Amino acid sequence: MGLPEVWSFMCRFNSFKRTNIILQHLRMSMHMDAAGEVLLERRGCAGVITLNRPKFLNALTFNMVRHIYPQLKNWEQDPETFMIIIKGAGGKAFCSGGDIRAISEAGGADQKITQDFFREEYRLNNAIGSCQKPYVALIHGITMGGGVGVSVHGQFRVATEKSLFAMPETAIGLFPDVGGGYFLPRLQGKLGYFLALTGFRLKGRDVYTAGIATHFVDSEKLGMLEEDLIALKSPSKENIADVLEAYHTKSKIDQDKSFILEEHMDKINSCFSANTVEQIIENLQQDGSSFALEQLKVINKMSPTSLKITLRQLMEGSSKTLQEVLIMEYRLSQACMGGHDFYEGVRAVLIDKDQSPKWKPANLKEVTEEDLNSYFKSLGSNDLKL
């Protein structure tokens, strides 16, 4: 073997070795001890989950999901645990979402990892929704995507003036998953459809007014609220609700401020009641107000495929149970992982940050009914089991 052949072989070997190292690293990161990433403690009458990646805005990793789920199930069965509290470390974020960049990188290298991540994340969302113990999410700070999934399906969600809610998935070639197809169409009027398609951000008390949070508490009182909840002796659901209500009633921040979308709700209900994305766009064009035209500008930047998937997801989800929605969303997630737009969206928004994704198909017209149906198709034996 001559020098050129040796060099060629070494390059191929190194490339192969690099790929294996990447896959090995990804698999290790899925299984290694997550003690640092999520803290699970019994305190007083409560099981307390602390999402502990403040440098990464507490983005949810596969590791964290795999540690939270069994502990949640244990606490649910434990007669000494009367409630479960979930919060984020660091004060800036509750949870900014799933670790999308890691999922994107893993999905490009190993399909099984993305199958496992979405399967286990959605199982956790379902476990929260069906949890027999009162579940209290302190959604202080940024709460998006996967962070919404580990909070909104619980019985109690406490917002503060620093809460920031959004489901921005259509901007990265995905859809508002983690049960978004269940809770979004159940918000007032067509608000959920608007939030899903545009990724509009709600802040502070608006998170409560919109119905995403059940209570609103001043952020400086959040620590005291947690201590008062933990100090309860064998509390019932009603005892917990009473403590939350007492704090909520005392909160005065932005008490008299009207809902940011209040003056636009008639437009939202009218424009977003259409059965197709094309008709929604036409409605916004015909409305012609500055608000409608601003939303039009936003929608036109989103993945055309994601827009069509999302509208159908919410329309179908409006009459499904949470479990049925999560099964549907698992099918959608796997179809997206096999497509183009998710990886392109992550590249444009999170990696290169040029904010100029090249969607394929590039316009709504090219996303056919046949294309759309393929996303919702059963996966047979690979469907999500709950």
Active site residues: 98, 146, 169, 177
With 0-12 / 13-18 / 19 or more C-beta atoms within 10 angstroms meaning exposed / middle / buried, residue 320 is: middle
Q: Which residues pair with 295 in a beta bridge?
A: none
Question: What's 258's DSSP letter?
Answer: P
Preceding peptide of 176 cis, ω within 30°? no
Q: What angle do CA 15, 17, 22 make, to 5 degrees?
A: 95
Taking residue 38's Cβ as centre, other Cβ atoms within 10 Å add up to 23
Q: Return phi, psi of residue 85, to 5°.
A: -115, 135
Is 234 within 8 Å of 45 (Cβ atoms)? Answer: yes
Residues 302 and 297: their CA atoms lie apart, in Å, by 9
- 264-280 b/e (C-beta count within 10 Å ≥ 16 → b): beebbebbbebeebeeb
